Amino acid sequence: MNVVAQPLTTPLVRPAPPAPYGMLAELTHRCPLQCPYCSNPVELDRRNVELDLDTWKRVFSEAAKLGVLQVHLSGGEPTARRDLEDMVRHCVEVGIYTNLITAGVGVTPERLQAISDAGIDHVQLSFQGATAEVTDKVSNFRGAHERKLAVAREVRRLGLPLTINSVVHRANIHQIPAFIELALELDAKRIEIAHSQYYGWALRNRGALMPTREQVFWALDVVEEARARLKGRLTIDAVVPDYYAKYPKPCMNGWGRQSLNVTPSGKVLPCHAAETIPNLDFWNVREHSLSDVWLNSPAFNAFRGTDWMPDLCKSCERKEIDWGGCRCQAMAIAGDAAATDPACHKSPLHAHMLALAEADAATGEAEYDYRRYLTPDRNN
């Protein structure tokens, strides 16, 4: 008897993604500094749309149930939230490790003591320069550097672990050795030397921030030498600018694979720059549980895994190493979020991306368009 094969009527089911283990909670976009490389969107959320304390507590509880192990309390400047200590206490209650990412400006010793008493696990303090002249110029805040030094010392006096975060660009890349010495002086156990990534305000200021190729490779040599010399004493994490890379970075270790971001207004994003991609539907914690967003939202599933990839990426031996690289960068350079990341040397736009970097690096001194709340006229 001949048996005729019947077409499948059951739709293919996408396997459930693993649980995220990290969450960036952008509590506010308010910040006293105006750094021109800020990763916040150019159109900042206003205070009147920020999630209230009870909603954030619910989000943290849902994050713990989902599997999140650590939450980065960020902004803007998270200490601008007067209820920050309540959030920290709640995270402690639900068993989430808390990392405070702060600019340190305006944080008094009394406030730091209160945050410590609430149970904060770790403090990450940003420095825009290794000297007062550079810090104050880049942040557009006079006296910022001295305030940061005082906060760093108070953090260590309280016995809290300290990471120094230095975003590197043309104005301060020469200070990398001094940044490392500053971290040692402040008794930090870790320093993050992160070259500016060109999204948000950094993309707007790319011509004023981009270092030369020679500067970047000099910086890499400095970091490698310091890593060997200071092994066991200081952990040095480094992020290179994609514009000079050969391979794309596995952005967020893959879209929707390990982490998520919650904006001040409650949107849940696969990465901090995801809103630069048009036509993605970002669900909000006001209407959806965090678990529902992680598993089912169209934005998280848009570039998850490898099925979405163009043929060039699907056939690549690195497809589950790089996970396609950065979708926001593909959008910014190629005009298509599903295109091969131009940071990859196999991309037809790789040479174009390098040419953009070299042209920007050659502009010399340029005025910053400082991060600030824009008026409707300036947004147009």
Task: State yes or no: 35 annotated in a binding site.
Answer: yes
Q: How many CA atoms lie within 13 A of 290 on its CB side?
A: 28
What is the edge-to-edge ordering of all strands in the sheet holding 122-127? 235-239, 190-195, 162-168, 122-127, 97-102, 70-74, 22-26, 259-262, 268-269
pLDDT above 90: residue 13: no
pLDDT band at 16 (very low <50, low <70, confident <90, very high): confident
For residue 189, what pLDDT is reported?
95
Give me the chain's average pLDDT, please: 93
Q: What is the DSSP letter of 250?
A: -
Mean per-residue pLDDT, 227-238 = 96
The predicted-structure confidence for 194-228, as pLDDT tens digits, reads as follows 999 999 999 999 999 999 999 999 999 999 999 99
The predicted-structure confidence for 84-123, as pLDDT tens digits, reads as follows 999 999 999 999 999 999 999 999 999 999 999 999 999 9
For residue 11, what pLDDT is reported?
44
Six-digit token pair at 37?
């490389």
The predicted-structure confidence for 330-373, as pLDDT tens digits, reads as follows 999 999 999 999 999 999 999 999 999 999 999 887 899 999 99
The predicted-structure confidence for 239-298, as pLDDT tens digits, reads as follows 888 899 899 988 889 999 999 999 999 999 999 999 999 999 999 999 999 999 999 999
Task: State yes or no: 31 annotated in a binding site.
Answer: yes
Return the C-alpha torsion angle 32, 36, 40, 42, nearest 10. 110
Question: Model's pTM, two decimal places?
Answer: 0.92
pLDDT band at 140 (very low <50, low <70, confident <90, very high): very high
Strands 259-262 and 22-26: parallel
The predicted-structure confidence for 143-199, as pLDDT tens digits, reads as follows 999 999 999 999 999 999 999 999 999 999 999 999 999 999 999 999 999 999 999
For residue 9, what pLDDT is reported?
43
pLDDT above 80: residue 1: no
The predicted-structure confidence for 298-327, as pLDDT tens digits, reads as follows 999 999 999 999 999 999 999 999 999 999
Dist CA 284 CA 150 (whole Å): 38
For residue 374, what pLDDT is reported?
79
Min mean pLDDT across 25-29, 52-56, 360-364 is at: 360-364
| Structural domains in the chain, sorted by start | 22-241 (3.20.20.70), 305-366 (no CATH)
Dist CA 313 CA 66 (whole Å): 30
Cis peptide upstream of residue 129 (ω within 30 degrees of 0): no
For residue 185, what pLDDT is reported?
98
